[in-house]
Amino acid sequence: MSVMVSLIKRFWKTCESNDQKRLSKQQYPTNLVEVVDLEYINDGHVHHKLDLYYPEGTEEKLPVIIDIHGGGWFYGDKELNKNYCLHLAQRGYAVFNISYRLCPEVTIKEQMQDCMAALDFIAKEMKNHPCDEKRVFLTGDSAGGQLAAFVAAAVSSRKIRKAYDTVSPKIKIRAVSLVSPVPYLNSRGPMKLYMRYIVGRKNKKYSKFLNFNSVLDSVNNYPPTILFTSIMDVIACSSTIKAYIHLLKSLTRTRLDFKLNPRLQHVYQVLYPEDKTSVKAIDKMITFFEKHS
């Protein structure tokens, strides 16, 4: 293991400790059905699993949200976003919460393959649960925002699926929510060294689809998209605004929710879904989804 990888893993280990302390203090919603550890790829890998949450006593078909967690591509699993996803399910949604393999054991190619395989599994699994297959929405935060942004394009773009060598899920994404996304992987400067463990060192066939603008260029009708960031989102404020501008240029129906409150930092509504400001942000996402359902 290189010194760089060792330092990266040590950093994310600290984040994991902080996340566990934060989550231990939060109140998880109750009165929800939790279908856990569904294997979307049957190979025994701990990260090839997903959960499904929805309100108890549900008789009608519910709109669906698929969530992809963040963690800098190196860290996390579905447990990281469980409380957030449970809060979404409490709003009357069937929520799929997915894990995927992590860097540096894999690259962005395998992570894209995992996310697309999860969507393929969900497309087939929805009939076994109270899910409305015609109202499916996708969200992701931070690195998960990058994956969600690219996956939304790959669903309808054969070029991107071929570049990342993914399956072709028979699913339609009605709208997308990107929370502090970082969808520009072809980085320069200090981040280039970090990104090489994510994108791989050699030139790959997916190298022309590492930045969101090039991904958008391969899609005729990108789903309506809402983006969230804040002035103190030092990790993703600039990339979120950049993504918003590229969505506008692509003529995608899009909205940017930009908060000036200095208390609100990176992916604040995912970290603290019960916070008053987070509830309002989630309200806006749900309203956006309902508008495009």
In this structure, which topology does domain 31-291 adopt according to CATH?
Rossmann fold (3.40.50)
Predicted TM-score of the model (pTM): 0.96
Number of H helices and E strands in the chain, helices first, is 10, 8
Q: What is the DSSP letter of 184?
A: B
Per-residue pLDDT of the chain (293 residues; tens, 9 = 90+): 577 778 888 888 888 889 999 999 999 999 999 999 999 999 999 999 999 999 999 999 999 999 999 999 999 999 999 999 999 999 999 999 999 999 999 999 999 999 999 999 999 999 999 999 999 999 999 999 999 999 999 999 999 999 999 999 999 999 999 999 999 999 776 778 888 889 987 667 899 999 999 999 999 999 999 999 999 999 999 999 999 999 999 999 999 999 999 999 999 999 999 999 999 999 999 999 999 99
Dihedral angle computed from the Cα positions of residues 46, 48, 106 and 141, in that order, rounded to the nearest 10 degrees: -110
- Kind and range of the H or E run holding 135: strand 131-141
Tell me how far apart the alpha carbons of residues 285 and 265 are, in angstroms, rounded to a whole number: 18
- For 25-142, where are the alpha helices, taking DSSP H only? 82-90, 108-125
Sorted by where each begins, the domain ranges of the chain are 31-291
| Long-range contacts formed by 87-90: CB under 8 A, 24+ apart | 87/29, 87/273, 87/274, 87/282, 88/53, 88/282, 89/29, 89/32, 89/53, 89/54, 89/55, 90/29, 90/32, 90/55
